C-alpha cells in the first residue's frame, strides 16, 4: 500500500470483530499503529469487548480511530460496545472488580473517530408510511453519543444525516474503483443503474474519461425492479455499471439485460459495498462479465481497497479535532 504517513505519533487504529482487514491497511496509510481489541461471544451469543491493558496507554495518549461496520445487526451492537469501552478508557473510568491497575485516571477529552466502511441500515433514509423508523438516522443518533467524528464510506443517501450532532466526513471509493476499472477492463461507457447512483457513476466516467448515461429504475419489491426503456449508445462497447451497493443483484442484472439488448460487447459491474445476498453472485455470473467491489464488506469479488478513501476522511476529522 502506497502513501506517506500523515501522523508521526503512535495514534491507534482500533478494530473489533469487523474492520480488522481495513484497519491493517489504514494504519500504514495514516502512519498509525493497528491494535486489535478483544472481542468474543458469550454462550448465549451476546458480545464481549475489552480494550486490552497494554492498549490503554495508546488509546488515552492520542486520538483513536475505530474501524467498525454497522452491519449486520451484531455489528451495530459490537460498534456501540467498542465505542463505550474506548470512551470509558479515555474518560479514565477504569474501575474494575479485580482491582487491577489504576481505578481512575484523568479524562483525556474528546478524540474518538469512528470509521465505518459499510454503514448498515442506510437505505431506510425516509419515512414512507407513518410510524416507520428512519433507521439510517437512528443508527447515527446511537453511535454519535460515543464518538467525536465519523467517516463513512459511500453512504447511500448522506442527506439523512444532515442534523447529525457530530462532524461527519462522507468519503467515496469511486476514484479507486475508476482506477481498477481502467486497469482491468478499460471501459468505453459507464452506466448508472438508477438516478440515485448518478453522482457516483458519473465521477467514475469523468476520471476514466469515457461516456456516461443512467437508467430510471422502479423498485416493485425487494427482489423485483424495472427500468424505464431508454436508448443507450452502447453497441459494440465495453460497459461498466457502477452503483453504491449490490444486494440481490437484481438492479445490475436488469441493467445488464438492457445493455445487452442494445448491443453492448461486454458488461461489467462495480460497486463499493458487495452485500451479495441470497445467491446474488451466481445470478450475476449469468448476466455480467465481471464484478468489482471494495473490501468494505469481505466478499470474493473485493479487489479495491476501501482504506485510501477512509484515510482521506479520517485525516480531515483528526485535523478538526486537533
Ligand atoms: C438502491 O438504490 C441502491 O443504490 C442499489 O441500487 C440497490 O440497493 C441494489 O440492490 P439489489 O442488488 O438488490 O438490486
- Over the chain (322 residues), the average pLDDT of each successive run of 10 is 41 94 96 95 96 96 95 97 98 98 96 98 95 97 97 96 96 98 98 96 98 92 86 96 97 96 97 97 98 98 98 96 87
Whether the Cβ atoms of residue 208 and residue 181 lie closer than 8 Å to each other: yes
Minimum-distance ligand 1 atom for the alpha carbon of 249: 12
Instruction: Say if residue 218 is in the same domain as residue 280.
Output: yes
Question: Which residue's C-alpha comes closest to atom 2 of ligand 1?
Answer: 196
Instruction: Say if residue 59 is in the same domain as residue 129.
Output: yes
Give the model confidence (pLDDT) of 78-110 as tens digits: 999 999 999 999 999 999 999 999 999 999 999
What per-residue confidence (pLDDT) applies to 15? 96
Minimum-distance ligand 1 atom for the alpha carbon of 253: 14
* Percentages of the chain per state (helix, strand, coil), in multiples of 5: 35, 25, 40
What per-residue confidence (pLDDT) applies to 219? 86
CA angle 93, 96, 101 (to 5 degrees): 80
Rg, Å, the chain Cα set: 21
Q: Is residue 6 part of a domain?
A: no
What per-residue confidence (pLDDT) applies to 225? 86
Instruction: Say if residue 63 is in the same domain as residue 142.
Output: yes
What per-residue confidence (pLDDT) applies to 223? 83
Q: Is residue 4 part of a domain?
A: no
Strands 224-227 and 217-221: antiparallel
Domain count, the chain: 2
Instruction: Say if residue 245 is in the same domain as residue 131.
Output: no
- What DSSP designation does 113 have? E
Instruction: Say if residue 194 is in the same domain as residue 118.
Output: no
3-state class (DSSP) for residue 18: coil
Whether the Cβ atoms of residue 52 and residue 62 lie closer than 8 Å to each other: no
CA angle 234, 239, 243 (to 5 degrees): 125
Is 230 noted as a catalytic residue in this protein? Answer: no
3-state class (DSSP) for residue 65: strand
Given the residues 2, 126, 195, 217, the one annotated as active site: 217
Whether the Cβ atoms of residue 124 and residue 132 lie closer than 8 Å to each other: yes
What per-residue confidence (pLDDT) applies to 59? 96
What per-residue confidence (pLDDT) applies to 167? 97
Distance CA 192, CA 127 (A): 25
Domain harbouring 312, CATH code: 3.40.50.2020
Best residue among 126, 128, 247 to mutate for probing ligand 1, ranked by most atoms within 8 Å of CB: 247
What per-residue confidence (pLDDT) applies to 221? 86
What per-residue confidence (pLDDT) applies to 229? 81
pTM, two decimals, is 0.94
Instruction: Say if residue 315 is in the same domain as residue 293.
Output: no
Question: Which residue's C-alpha comes closest to atom 3 of ligand 1?
Answer: 245
Minimum-distance ligand 1 atom for the alpha carbon of 223: 13
Instruction: Say if residue 23 is in the same domain as residue 149.
Output: yes
What per-residue confidence (pLDDT) applies to 10? 75
Q: Is residue 134 part of a domain?
A: yes
Q: Ramachandran region of residue 308, left (φ > 0), alpha (ψ -120 to 50) or beta? A: alpha
154 CB within 6 A, ligand 1:
no
Whether the Cβ atoms of residue 134 and residue 127 lie closer than 8 Å to each other: yes
Amino acid at each position: 500500500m502506497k502513501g506517506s504517513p500523515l501522523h508521526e505519533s503512535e495514534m491507534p487504529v482500533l478494530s473489533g470483530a469487523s474492520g480488522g482487514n481495513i484497519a491493517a491497511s489504514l494504519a500504514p496509510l495514516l502512519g498509525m499503529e493497528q491494535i486489535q481489541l478483544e472481542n468474543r461471544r458469550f454462550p448465549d451469543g451476546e458480545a464481549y469487548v475489552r480494550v486490552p491493558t497494554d492498549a490503554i496507554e495508546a488509546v488515552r495518549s492520542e486520538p483513536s480511530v475505530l474501524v467498525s461496520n454497522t452491519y449486520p445487526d451484531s455489528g451495530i451492537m459490537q460498534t456501540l460496545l467498542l465505542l463505550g469501552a474506548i470512551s470509558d478508557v479515555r474518560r479514565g473510568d477504569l474501575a474494575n472488580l479485580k482491582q487491577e491497575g489504576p481505578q481512575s485516571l484523568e479524562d483525556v477529552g474528546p478524540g474518538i473517530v469512528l470509521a465505518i466502511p459499510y454503514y448498515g441500515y442506510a437505505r431506510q433514509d425516509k419515512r414512507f408510511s407513518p410510524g416507520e423508523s428512519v433507521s439510517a438516522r437512528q443508527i447515527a443518533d446511537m453511535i454519535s453519543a460515543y464518538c467525536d467524528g465519523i467517516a463513512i464510506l459511500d453512504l447511500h443517501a448522506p442527506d439523512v444525516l444532515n442534523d447529525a450532532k457530530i462532524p461527519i466526513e462522507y468519503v467515496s471509493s469511486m476514484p479507486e474503483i475508476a482506477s481498477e476499472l481502467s486497469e482491468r477492463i478499460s471501459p468505453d461507457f459507464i452506466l448508472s443503474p438508477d438516478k440515485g447512483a448518478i453522482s457516483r457513476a458519473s465521477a467514475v466516467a469523468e476520471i476514466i474519461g469515457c461516456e456516461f448515461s443512467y437508467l430510471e429504475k422502479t423498485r416493485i419489491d425487494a427482489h423485483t425492479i424495472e427500468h424505464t426503456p431508454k436508448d443507450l449508445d452502447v453497441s459494440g462497447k465495453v460497459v461498466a455499471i457502477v452503483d453504491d451497493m449490490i444486494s440481490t443483484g437484481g438492479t445490475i442484472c436488469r441493467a445488464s439485460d438492457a445493455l445487452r439488448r442494445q448491443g453492448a460487447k461486454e458488461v461489467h459491474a462495480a460497486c463499493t459495498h458487495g452485500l451479495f445476498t441470497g445467491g446474488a453472485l451466481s445470478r450475476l455470473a449469468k448476466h455480467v462479465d465481471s464484478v468489482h467491489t471494495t473490501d468494505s464488506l469481505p466478499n470474493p469479488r473485493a479487489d479495491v481497497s476501501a482504506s485510501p478513501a477512509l484515510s482521506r476522511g479520517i485525516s480531515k476529522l483528526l485535523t478538526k479535532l486537533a
